[in-house]
Structure 1
Amino acid sequence: MRRITISALCVALAAALLAVAAAPAGAAPRRDRTPPTTPGNLRVTAVTATTISLAWNAASDNVGLNAYIVYQQSALGTYGIYHSPGSTTFTDTIGVRGYTKTYWVVAEDTSGNRSGESNRVTATTTPDTSPPTAPVLTVTGVTQSTASLSWTASTDDAGTPGYRIFVNGAPAQFTTPIPSAGIRTASVRHLTPGTAYTFTVRAADAAGNLSPPSNAVVATTAPSADATAPTTPGNLRITFDMGCAVDLAWNASTDNSTPIEYEVFVNGGIQTIFVGVTTGFVYHTNVNGLNTFAVRAVDPSGNSSPLSNEVTSAFAEC
C-alpha cells in the first residue's frame, strides 16, 4: 500500500489554495457596498386642503436604484413609504385640513445600500376658513314652555356641519336633541309661558367656522297660570349596566298637571326625555371614565323639580 506523508498533503493543499486565488474572470462578484448619492433639494411644490406635493433631485448609484423611501413625521409618529425609483415627485393625500407633516427622502439601491437623508421640509395643509351657508329656520309649534324648530340643511366645503340654536341672541340652554351634524330639528325647552322669543340658527363646521345667522323667527309661548313645580323624582337607580349604556328607574313625581316629562341628564347635559314613565335606557356620553346620571321632572308649564340623586357608571365596551 502506498503511503502519503503529512508533508505531501500540506504541499497539495497549498497548491489547491493557489489555484483558487488565481481563478479566471467569471467567479462570483464581490457584494456591492457602495450606497447611492443622497437625494438633493427636497422641496414642497404644492399644498391644498388635503394634499402635500414634494419633489427632489435624483440620486445616482453604481448598480441601480431600487426605490426612494419618503419618510413622514407627524403627531401620529414617523414612518416611511417606498416610492418608485423612476419618479422624483410624491403627493401625500392626508384628508385633513390644517395638518402638519415633516418629510425627508432616502435612496436605496438594488443591493439594499441606503443613502444619507435629504434635507427636511415641513408643510401644513391649508386650514378651513370658509363658513357654511346659512340655514332657513321655521318654528313648527309652541307650547307653554317649548318651541319646536326646523331648518334647512346648510352646505360646507368640508363635510356636514352641525348647528347652534340662539334664543334672543344667546345660545339656547336647553334643547332636545342636542344639535349635531345632520340633525335639523330641535325643541327649545324651559321657556316662560306667555312670552315672545326670537329664534335663529347658525351652522358650524368642524373647524369652528360659523355661518351667518338664519332668518329670525319670533314665536310666543302659550300663557299659563300654573306656577307649581313637580316633586323631585326619588330613588334614581341603575337596574342594568351594559357598560356603554344603562337602564335607569326612579320613583314618580307628582304635580297638579299632566303629563309629567322626565329629563335625563348625563354628565350635566340633557340627553333624552321620557314622558309619563319612570324607566329609561340611556347611553353614556363620556367614553373615558365615569358617567353621572340624574333626573328632573318638568310639567306642561315648564315648572321644574330639583334634580334627583345622582348615580354613576364607568364606561366599558358593549
Structure 2
Amino acid sequence: MRRVSLALICGSLLVLTACGGGAGNNTGGEGPPPAPMGVTAAAGSATTVHVMWNAVSGDVKVAGYEVYRGATRVERVPGDEHMLDVTRLTPSTAYVFTVRALDADGNPGPPSEPVRATTPIEVAADRTPPTRPGRPHGRAVASRAAQLDWSASTDARGVVSYDIYQGGSKIHSVGGGQTATVVTGLRPGTAYTFTVRARDAADNLSPASAAVRLTTAPGADDGHGTAPTEFRVSCHRADGAYYLDLSWLPPRTDGVITEYRIDLDGRQATSLVWGGTPPSGRATYSFYVGRDTGVAYRVRIRAKLPDGTWGGFSAERTVTTGSAEGGDAGTRK
C-alpha cells in the first residue's frame, strides 16, 4: 500500500502541533523569543515563593529571563537559570507571577501564562527549625539527570518546602509533601554532591541532610530514565480516514512537560505542544495518518525536559491501519 507522506501528518484533536520541528519556538531567527512555558509557583515559606519555568529553545538566543509579580518586575536572571525564589512577600497573601524571556539585545518576548501562589500564615515566635531530612539516596539517570529521594523531616508546625543543594548552591525547591525529585540539565561523566534541607513557614532551615554523591554516565546515551513510560498506540477509523491514538505516562520531573516529539518509522513526524495545562497523569493524543488500509507504522515518542533538552525515546510500538486487533502489534526497544 502507498505510505502517507510524513509531511502530511499534521493534526491535533487536543493541542496545537507543528510538523517537523519544535512547535511554539521562534523559527525565523529574528524577533523576540517566545513566551516561557511550564511556569509554576509554590510557596517556600510565609514570605517566599519558588518560581520555575522551562527553558526556551529555538533560533533566538535567550540571554535572560524577567520574573514579574503582578505588573512589577521582581528580578532578571541569566538565560541558563530557570528558577527564582521571590522573597520579602506578605504572609497569607495570594500572588500572580509571569516570566518573560529576553533576547541578546535585551528585547523581551511575550509574558508566560500567569501562575498563582498563596503564602501560608506566618507563625509567630517560631525559631525551631525542622529536623534534618533522613536517609537521602540518589542515582544517576543516564548521563544528564539524577533522581533523589529522602525521608520526611518533622516540624512542630509543618514543613512547607525542601531545598535541594548542589555543593553549596541551592538549585531547586519542592513542596513540603514531596520527598523525591529529579534533577535534569547535568553534564555527562561528572561527579555531583547533593544535600537536602527542610524549611518551615517561619523560614527556619533544617540542618543539611547527609550528602548524596553520584556520577552521571559518560558520553551521550538514549536517556532511558527520562523517557515516557507505558506508551501505547492503537488505531481507529473515522469518515474513511485512519487516526493513530497514543497514550503514555510523562517522564518524572519536577518541572512541567509541555512539548513532545512523535516519530514514525524512525523519522520525526510532528511536534506536540500542550495549549493548556498538561495532564499530570496519563496523556492521550490522536492524529491523522491517511486513508490507506494495511499500512504498518512504527511509533515512538520523547519529551522535551524542563531544562530544554530532549529526554529519551519511549519503547517503539507497531500498529497497522485496519488491523483486526486495532492496537499495539509489537514492541521494539
The TM-score bracket by the shorter chain reads 0.3 to 0.5
What TM-score does the superposition give when structure 2 sets the normalisation length?
0.37
The one of the two structures with greater contact order (alpha-carbon pairs below 8 A, sep at least 6) is 2
What TM-score does the superposition give when structure 1 sets the normalisation length?
0.38
- Rg larger in 1 or in 2? 1
